Chain A
Amino acid sequence: MNENLPSRRVLLRDEIDCVPVYVVWEITLACNLKCLHCGSRAGHRRAGELSTAECVDVVRQLAELGTREISIIGGEAFARKDWLDIVRAIRERGIQCSMQTGGYKLTADMLRAAHEAGLNGIGVSIDGLEPLHDRLRGVRGSYAEAMRVLEDCRRIGLDASVNTQITASSIDDLSDLMRVIIDAGAKYWQIQLTVAMGNAVDNDALLIQPFELATLMPLLADLHAEGRSHGLELIPGNNIGYFGPYEALWRGPDRGHYPGCPAGQNVIGLEADGTVKGCPSLATQRYGAGSVRDAPIAQLWAEHPALRFNRERGVEDLWGFCRSCYYAEVCRGGCTWTADSLFGRRGNNPYCHYRVLELAKRGLRERVVKSEEAPPLSFATGRFALIEEPLDARAAQ
């Protein structure tokens, strides 16, 4: 292992050996925010969440599989009383540990304790300027708290980054938000599109439409360049893409291009009750591979079909535009979560800049329309219809 490489970076050897380099672990579903776009519908803890001893054993198993970074999430990870014990267990195994948080009621003392326990960094969710953020997160004062956490991290010396979900309402806030983030001292800003899952299906007006990538992506490219000149790195999440004119700007050539969805090949998602998935966000019903209570993780990882779907890298799963795309073999429909959540089936992802531009050349655009609600369950999906229409069909919206 090259110690100079970021722990989460996937190497060729990792791809071939299916090393679960990066694990995202929901350690509890308890949460103190009420986010309108929450895919897991977090709030109350799950029935049968893993005990401390079980969590420590999960860490041991992941270390044996070669995991290099674990990101603890929730709900709100710090809602678990033993969250620092879990952080310590991860660090004692030589695994990097980060935490994604809304930051609400995460005090300076708690941050200091986490830093001392070995937490390597935190990602704070900020989805817009104060009015929008507080509305999306469902708690007045949550924006001020998130900003206060960034300031506390700076004073404590804990690395802090910002995660932003892009909704239809947040596009207008992004430029001003970036300046706020720069002033707050964050070094990384990860961008992700809100996906049609859980509460976001109930509130589907929050979803941007695929054709809006035509204006969003040039904006992100401008922000990427501006951010870099101020020491802020804009990092595209797994559902920002793919292979459009800005791919080399934010993913390559030094870091390579988008390699296809890593779920189940180099990523594991864990739910708080021990359910193993290839990505933390995937629908449990279709992608749950069983529980750590029932089988060793190595056995599930090696054998369970719900985890293996990305490993052979064929294009058989692709359909629609993605099936015949120039980048099909590499991209394989981009983010599995995004496509599967819309259509109940992976392999055709309308949230793709290259696709939007290619369709525009033919005078076409796409939008999604909800046809079925999501049940009131964690990681539940509804159904959406994909509408292809003339590019100038604005009146039809």
Chain B
Amino acid sequence: MTGPNRVVARGRPSPVLTLCRQCIQFIHAGTPRCPHCLGDPNVASERYREGGFAAVEAMRRIDDLRARRSIDEADART
């Protein structure tokens, strides 16, 4: 796979949203009350549990943390 020889431009990454575990819609992280269903977004609903959303959310979070760590390490080297 070809990689970039050099970085020629910089951009800001997209802010990351989280899922409301009640209505399975995306919300801003840390929102205490879902603006869509008005429920507590941290309390898992039956749909959330049965849909396997906890597992895929956890995997995504791990991917994100690993990516951010590798970026921090690369930036520290430069």
Is there an interface contact between B17 and A12, defined as CB atoms closer than 8 Å?
A: no
Is there an interface contact between B12 and A311, defined as CB atoms closer than 8 Å?
A: yes
A12 CA / B35 CA spacing, docked (Å) = 27
- List chain B residues, Cβ under 8 A from A94: 1-2
A290 CA / B12 CA spacing, docked (Å) = 24
Q: Closest residue of chain B to A7, judged by CB? A: B1
- Say whether, besides A11-B67, A93-B2, A248-B25, A298 and B8 are in contact (CB < 8 Å): yes
Q: Is A245 an interface residue (CB 8 A)?
A: yes
Is there an interface contact between A65 and B4, defined as CB atoms closer than 8 Å?
A: yes
Is there an interface contact between A330 and B15, defined as CB atoms closer than 8 Å?
A: yes
The interface on chain A, measured as residues whose beta carbon lies within 8 A of the other chain's beta carbons, has a size of 46
In-complex Cβ contact of A252 among B2, B6, B14, B26 (8 A)? B26
A299 CA / B9 CA spacing, docked (Å) = 10
In-complex Cβ contact of A3 among B1, B24, B57, B70 (8 A)? B1
Among B18-75, those with CB < 8 Å from A are 19, 23-26, 28, 35, 53, 56-57, 59-60, 64, 67-68, 70-71, 74
Q: Is A277 an interface residue (CB 8 A)?
A: no
Q: Is A63 an interface residue (CB 8 A)?
A: yes
A243 CA / B27 CA spacing, docked (Å) = 9
Cβ of A306 to closest chain B Cβ, rounded Å: 13
- Say whether, besides A13-B71, A64-B4, A326-B35, A312 and B12 are in contact (CB < 8 Å): yes
Is there an interface contact between B3 and A1, defined as CB atoms closer than 8 Å?
A: yes
The interface on chain B, measured as residues whose beta carbon lies within 8 A of the other chain's beta carbons, has a size of 35
Q: Is A259 an interface residue (CB 8 A)?
A: yes
A256 CA / B70 CA spacing, docked (Å) = 19
Among A1-54, those with CB < 8 Å from B are 1, 3, 7, 11-13, 15-19
Main secondary structure, interface of B, reads loop
- List chain A residues, Cβ under 8 A from B9: 17-18, 301-302, 308, 311
- List chain B residues, Cβ under 8 A from A247: 25-26
Q: Is A115 an interface residue (CB 8 A)?
A: no
In-complex Cβ contact of B24 among A17, A19, A63, A248 (8 A)? A248
A15 CA / B9 CA spacing, docked (Å) = 10
Q: Is A179 an interface residue (CB 8 A)?
A: no
A243 CA / B6 CA spacing, docked (Å) = 34
Q: Is A293 an interface residue (CB 8 A)?
A: no
Cβ of A251 to closest chain B Cβ, rounded Å: 9
A330 CA / B14 CA spacing, docked (Å) = 6
In-complex Cβ contact of B19 among A11, A252, A259 (8 A)? A252
Is there an interface contact between A243 and B25, defined as CB atoms closer than 8 Å?
A: yes
With A7-B1, A298-B6, A302-B9 given, can you name 16 additional A-B contacts, CB distance below 8 Å?
A1-B1, A12-B64, A15-B13, A64-B2, A64-B5, A65-B8, A245-B24, A248-B24, A257-B26, A260-B14, A265-B11, A301-B8, A301-B9, A311-B9, A313-B13, A326-B28
